[in-house]
Structure formats: structure tokens, C-alpha cells
Structure 1
Amino acid sequence: QQEVIRHLRLAEAMLDSGRLSPPDMAYLRRFAQRVSRATGCRVTLIDSTGRVLVDSDIAPSQIGRLDNHLHRPEVQAALKHPEGTAVRYSVSLGRSFVYACRKLGEPAWGFLRLALPEEIVGKHIGAFRLRLLGVGVIIGVVAALAWMIHLSRMYQDIQQLRIGVQPISPRSQKVTLPHPSDPELAAFSHRLERQFSRLLRELQSLDREKNELRTILASIKDGIIAIDAHRRIMLCNEVARQMLDDLPRNPAQRYFYQVIRNPHLHSLINRFFEQPFLMNDRIETDQGTVLEVDIVPFREGDASGPGAVVVLRDVTQMHQLEKIRRDFVANVSHEFKTPLTAVRGYAETLLDWALERSQMRRKYVEKILQHAIQLENLVNDLLQLARIERMSRPELQPFDPLPILREVAETYREAARRKGLSFSLSTGEAPPTILGEPEMFRSILANLIDNAIKYTPSGGSVAISWAVEENSCTFMVRDTGIGIPQSEQERIFERFYRVDKARSRSIGGTGLGLSIVKHLAELQQAEVWVNSEENQGSCFGVVFQVDKLSGNLAVNRKIDEGN
């Protein structure tokens, strides 16, 4: 350190202070390189804010990436004393240095810092040791002439002690040292053995506690980050690193603001250190994960202030469920409110003046009945959807879909005729035996056909058909109705989602039919798709697996056969 300080003073004397304010960067770079070549030291010039202006070992293009140096130990010491020194590891260069720093000007313009690599210092120390060894040998030879026998015996005892003292680790079983013949060395050996035994017990206890802590942290599903009173990270478990995937591999002993990049979490920790009290909040990561954050204080020995334990809990699924619940309650409330408002309005009109007019009375009662039916349909669809969502996946069974197709088609044929629609069931090759649940299949068909009839204007057509492939059979309901815009097609299977809400309510739609279709299809491992063009019509298809074991592919079998 004295050698680095000597170089530092010489460098300060060489520095032209007139070129410091404003800083002549070209001169400062030349000065740093010249001093570095002359002394073998790394030369750094830092302004009063801690920003690095010049560094002889770092390219000018890389200077801007360096961390602020105002809080480096040697710089802080230079603010209080003529020179500040430190021996530490440089993160910038990945080497250990002996640093010496001196303040420039009053008030301080900045700092001049010199650093000598520790390995060079090691060489000086080695040379000094060699010189010291030479002197010791000379003294030993002179002393040996007078005390040869005594020193020879003592040397043997010391050698026994040196050989007996082995490195102590928590895995050591027992510490046993030799007992020299010299009384003083024997007493020293006994004391040393007791001290080593006590140290071994403490090491073993610490190792057990460390392993227990590591096991506990690894088994906890929550992320845990412990930050000391100086805002340095003490520990961080793997779960926390996975939740905050921008954390480095080993963030211990680094300041939290150097490694935690999430701005919300960064702000919460800063607020905690300003006012240390229990904090709870939710943050969202760049990957869309929602984390619940709890920050609690803890005391660390004789530290001046409390540290912080940050607990991170992944609540993404809970957050999504809460959003779904809120949306569902809002939608259900809205869907009930509209017909109930209408029923109330018609009822109040009847009570006010329409009861005496038979024609108006009948009209309003029919309106009340219409909205009551709409409410009943909504309740029934909600109950059915709730049952389906609670339902576990059924055991799929092979069945012939043709009788169900005929039955459902006959059920809706009259409704289509009353609306003036052309209604048809394919008369080509019969569908094969499929895997599914017959009643669920019936409900899927009924909902798709009901939707097709509701949203197809008079004069249009509704057609039911199917297409057989090697391992699957697709059942299609095609209409020439109002169609669905391309931008809306991804959302039509959501609960209560309607393309045209006013028209849907006017024809009695609940907004749940396609959601029921999707859930029933998924329970049967079937796939639903839609192909639609606005004002041209829609085609909904449901793809079922074919039962290969039955061998009932119905090749060349016509629907009309057996009628």
C-alpha cells in the first residue's frame, strides 16, 4: 500500500490541474496511460459524482458501462483522509487490486485512483520473504552454534506439532496433537488441542445449521430473498431466482438494486427501507406472472437498522380465477338485469293503465312471458354449464350417432319451417360409430342447430352433414345466416360473449350455448371449429374420434337403408 501511495503522490504532482475543469478527456487519457506505463499501476480518474472518466485498463467505449464509483471503499476513505486505501476484488476486471485514492482540489473536483494488481504485490512480498528468510538463516546459524542441542530438540518438538496440526473441516471426527517433551510446548499443545476441539464442534454445528437452512429453503415453494441493513443480499433461494428470472446465478453480497430489475419490486423494497414496516402488494413480471410480495423486517446482530425478508408467492392462477369470477358476476348480473327491467316495466304499465285495455293487456302479458322464458333459459343454461364444469371426464363409449342425428333434426325441423328456413339432413353415406357420450353429443347438436335457426333470417337454409376421415368424423351444422366477423371468431366460445348483443337478446339468446358446446366437446376429447363469413353464413364443426374396434365405418351404407 505504501508503494501505491508513493506512486499516487508522484502522479498527482504530474497532473496538470488546469485541464481538469472542464475535463480535457484526450489529455486525461494520455496522462492515465503514461502514468500506468511508468508505474505498472491501473490509473482511474473519477469525477465528484462517482462517474468514471478515464481508466487505463478499460477501453473508452466501455467506460460508460462501469458502475458508479462514489461508494467504493477507497473513494469514501479519500473523502475523509488525505489518502484512501483498500484491498478488494474488482468486478470490472475480475482481479484483486490494492487501491489508493486521493481527492483532487478543494472543493473536490474528483478523485485520482491508482491500483496495483495483488499478484504483483504478492511478488514483492515473496521477494521480501526471501530476504527475511536469508536473515533468519544467518541468525539461526549463529544461534545454533550456542544452543545447538537445545534448539535441535525444540525443533523436533515443533516439527511434531506442525505435522500433527491438520486442516480442520466439519467432517473431522477428532483433533489429536502430539505431546512434545519440552514442558512449555507440551502445555501449548494441550491448550491448542482444546481450542481446536472447541472450534471443530462449532464448525460442525454451523455446518448442520447451514445444511438445515439450505434444505428448508429448497423445500419452500415461495421465493425468499434476505437483504441486510446495508441493502446487500444475504441469501436468495432458487425459487426466487426462477420467479425473477433476471437475477444472476449467485446474487449474495451484492446490493439489491444491482440485481433486482423489476421496477415495482424495486420500489417496494426502497419504501420498506425508508419506513420499515410490514408490506404486502402484488407485482407482475415481464412474463405476465403475478407475484404476491410480503416484506417483513428482521434484526441482524448489532446492525444499525433492520434488514428485510422478501417473500414471493406465485398467485397467477388465483389472480386469473378472481378475474374470471368478477367477469362472471358482472355478466350474470347484466344478463338478469335486462329482462327483469323489461318485466318490471311491462308490469308497472299494466298496473298504471293497460289492464283496462284487453288488446294492450294481452300484448304486455305476452312480453312478460317472453322475458320470463328468456330468464328461465338463462337459468337452465347456467345450471347446465355449472354441472358440466364440475363434471369429470366421462368414460368414452362407442355409439351410433345416426339415430341421435335423426331425432334432433326432427325436433328442430318444425321450428325451421315456422321461420321459413330450408332444413336438411345429409342423405349420403351414414356416419361411422364414434367414441363419446350420447347425451352430450345430443346436447352439442341441439345447441348448434338452435343457434343456426336463431341467427338465420327467413328464406335461408340450415344443413346438417358429416365428413369421414381415417380416424375421425366431423359433424357440421351449416347455415346462411348473419355470419361472424373474423375478428370476433376467437371469442365466441366465451361465456356471455355475443357478436351483436341487441339482436341476440331480441331472439332469446343467452350467450352460453357455444360455451356449453365447447365444454361438452372437450369432455369427450372432441374438437370444435368454426368457419364463418359476415353476411354469408357460418359452419360449425365438431370432430369426434372414430371407434376403430367396432369396425363400423359404414362403407356404402346409406341413411335410407332400413327405414
Structure 2
Amino acid sequence: MNQDWRLGLARRLLILTLCCLLLGLISGHYGWSFTVGLAIYLVITLSQLLHLNNWLKRTHTGEHPPEGFGLWAEVFDKLYQWQRHEQRVRANLQAIIDRVQDSTAALQDAVIVMHQGNLEWCNKAAEHLLGLRAPQDFGQTVTNLVRHPAYKEYFDRGQYQDPLELPSPINDRIYLQFTITRYGDGEYLMLVRDITRLHSLEQMRKDFVANVSHELRTPLTVIVGYLETLLEHADEVNPRWVKPLQRMEQQTERMRHLLEDLLLLTKLETTQYPASNQPVVVTNLLQSIKTDAQSLSSDKGHEFILEAEPDLLFKGSESELRSAFSNLVFNAVKYTPSEGKIYIRWWHDTQGAHLSVQDNGIGIDNKHLPRLTERFYRVDSSRASITGGTGLGLAIVKHVLLRHKGWLEIQSIPGQGSTFICHLPAEHMLIRTPSPTPIRA
């Protein structure tokens, strides 16, 4: 609005006042003169407001503002300018939205936007991969549209660090990978990729590893048998062959452990849930693992501290949990120097049950942590020859926890030690009876 609007308004009021005075001077009735003047001014103002109201109702048609005079002309003009500006902004925003929708529609990956779990928008690929229909399905709960127990559990758990892999709900020969990202207030962006080819290659790899591992067991058993026989009669063997035979026995034993770990890992990967789902007294399990770890430690003089809630049980496979927990404890023994401390703790809170294995060993650099659970990944290749590990221990831990709907957290500082924490869901833990104090040994 023009900066001189106040001056213009004062001028018009002054003119109106002078006219009323002149009319009063002529007629001799000043009161009636001012009343008539104000009435005329009020009628003009109301007529301009009526024109403004009618025009605002028709702004969607792009009609120009009505003719006005004085201050009202400036009001109409300013409102019209604001309206045109808002239309340009709205048009630009709509153009951006259209470009985004066109670009996402061209993607082969499905893009789904959700609010509070309800479908707000999806692209064409979502129709082909998931069977979603736009706009008919908009506003519906996505867990009702993607009907799979694993997807509902994954979405409700709210832990989206790792993607979810499932067959397509409309074609079980298509395998999909779900990745969910949270943003804003209850907003979700879900990307769904077709990984059928990668899944087939992964399945071929698993089958190959399983078959080779089974086939190698027989010749390895024969070799181990002959080596044991030769070493039992070492006094009859040329002395210079004794050391090579002992070395061969060590390497065949390492190979046997490698095959056993490969077979176990294949079993864990090819089934979704544990074979047994019974309450496990984890405290007793940890006591047994601690005893085995002390034997493994032998002359290193490690100090073992076990703190556990004796009445905290967990429903799952005892053999698989033993394999996972023992791998963590035995790794701590291998990579902790003599006289070091290994602290094992089993407890629960509102988030679930937790097992931590902490040591004050050599530690691991942060750049290696994301890849530690990959099979055969080595932080330092020289460690393998020293410790005799297979490189599959943490991969087994990861898969055991996944089968029990848990996950592994790794914290480590080089030179100060490492902490491995197994997080297990609250719905599978059981509290047997209240216990006054935890076990500490």
C-alpha cells in the first residue's frame, strides 16, 4: 500500500467534514448535515466491502479486482498483487512436485510415502512390485496392504538399520528388499528394490558352500585318521617327520572347525526361526561358557567377572545362543593380553534382555566395525595365524541374533578394549521369580 495512504485518508475526511459544514451552514441543521454525510460515507464503504467480498469469492477464476477509488483502489490493487504472487509460488511448487513425481514414477524401485503408517503416495513401480493401487489405496494402513507377518513385525519394531528381504506379496518368485527411513513427525519413506537376481546368486552361493562343506568332511576325516595313527606311532616314524605331521594335524583341526562353522552358518541362513523355542536359563549357560573360557585361557591368567540376573530367562534355541555367546567370550580370550579382564553381564530393562562381553584387550579401529560381522573379514590378516580363528564367529553371532529377532552392537577403542552387546527383544524374555541380588562370580 502506498506510504501516503494516511495523508490521503485525512484529506478525504477533511473534505467530507467541510462539505457537511457547508451543508449545515446552508440548511441551518449541522447535526443532520453530519449525519447525512456519515451515512453517505458508510454506504460507499459498505459497497466497496461488498465488491471486495464478491471478488474474493471469484479469485479462483483469475478475475481482475473491481474498480475502486481512493484507499479502496489501493487495497484492491495490493490484494491482487499478493494473489498473483501466491499463484506464481503455488505454480512453481506444483511444477516441482510434478517433476519429482514424474522422476520417481520412472524409477524401477518402488517409492512409498507414509504418514503414521498410512499410505499417502506411491509410484508406478509400487503397483508392479507390491500390488498397491493409486489412488484407491491412499489413506490405508500399509501393513494391511503388504500382508506378511515379517513386514508387520519389522515395521512395528521401528529398528530400520538393516533392510528387510521378503518375497513379493503378488508374486513369490520375485524377491524384494525393503528400506524404511523416518523423517518429520510420523513420516516414513520406504524404498522397495527387486533383488531377485541377487537373491538367486546368494542362494547358489549358500548351496555351493553347503555342498562343498559336506563333500570335504569325508576326505578330511580320512586325513585326520591317518595323521592320528601316524602320531600315535611317532616313535616308529623318522624323527624329522614328527614336526611336519604335528603341523599337519593342527591345520586339519583348523580346517575341521572351519567346515563346522560353515555348516552351522549355512543352517542359520537357510531357516528363518530357531528349531526350538524353549525358555533358556541363560545364567547357567554363561557359567558353562565361562568355565570353557577359563580352560581356553590356560596360562594367560585372565580375570573373568560374570554378573547375571539368575531369574532372567530367554525363549529361544539354547544351542544357537550358546554358539553366539561363546564366540564372543572366546574372542575376548583370544584378543586380550595376559592378566587382562573379561567382564560378562546379563541383564534386562524396558527395551529387552542384553548380554555384554567387555574386555581390555587390543581394541579395534572404528573403520573396521561396520564390516566385522561379514564372513571371513579380517581386521589384520596376521591375527588369523596367531589365534587360529575361522573368521566366521561374528557372522554366526549376527545370524543367531537375527533369528532371535535381536541385533549386535559393537563398541571399541584401539588400545583400550572392546564391548560386544547382544540386544534381544523383550517379548521373548521371561522373569522366573524376583531375585534380591544378581549372580556375580
Q: Pick the TM interval, shorter chain.
A: 0.3 to 0.5
Whose radius of gyration is greater, 1 or 2?
1
Instruction: Report the TM-score, using the length of structure 1 for normalisation.
Output: 0.37
Q: Which has the higher contact order (CA 8 A, sep 6+)?
A: 2
